[in-house]
Amino acid sequence: MRSLVISIFLYACESWTRTADTQRRIQPMEMRRLRKFLGITYRDHISNEEVRNRTRQAIGPHEDLLTTVKRRKLKWYGHITRSSGLVKAILLGTVQGGT
Ligand SMILES: *[C@@H]1O[C@H](CO)[C@@H](O)[C@H](O)[C@H]1NC(C)=O
């Protein structure tokens, strides 16, 4: 289930061109997800760092979502830029034309 959600999410964000944009969208979403998982609300006044610490204690070291997205984006760009011809022109044109 988690991987399905992530796949759909990554499909959407592969067209996000700017890293800052990606970061701005992903990090709050991930923190909300972690807080929900830990049963913490914003009213508890617990810092993001503490939330991450507690998550690490609960499930061990894990890759954060932003790192996953960056890695997947690089892989996708690598794949596209190595391909040739019309597909590349269309896809890169789409990317540049996006936000
Ligand atoms: C989170 O963990 C790090 C490393 O264990 C520690 O240095 C830091 O003080 C912790 N932060 C909080 C807010 O507890």
Q: Are 49 and 34 within 8 A, CB to CB?
A: no
Average pLDDT for the chain: 75
What pLDDT does 66 receive? 79
Rg of the chain, C-alpha, whole Å: 17
Burial (CB count <10 Å: 0-12, 13-18, 19+), residue 23: middle
- Report residue 44 as tokens: 């508890």
Residue 62 resides in a domain = yes
Q: Is 49 in the pocket of ligand 1 (CB under 6 A)?
A: yes
Residue 77 resides in a domain = yes
Q: Identify the band that residue 63 occupies on the pLDDT scale cut at 50, 70 and 90.
A: confident
Higher pLDDT, 5 or 36: 36
The answer to which of 31-35, 55-59, 66-70, 95-99 has the lowest mean pLDDT is: 95-99
Best residue among 34, 38, 48, 53 to mutate for probing ligand 1, ranked by most atoms within 8 Å of CB: 53
What pLDDT does 72 receive? 80
User: Domain count of the chain?
Assistant: 1
Counting atoms of ligand 1 from 1, which one is nearest the CA of 52?
A: 1
**Mean pLDDT confidence for 20-24:** 72
Range of the domain at 62: 5-92
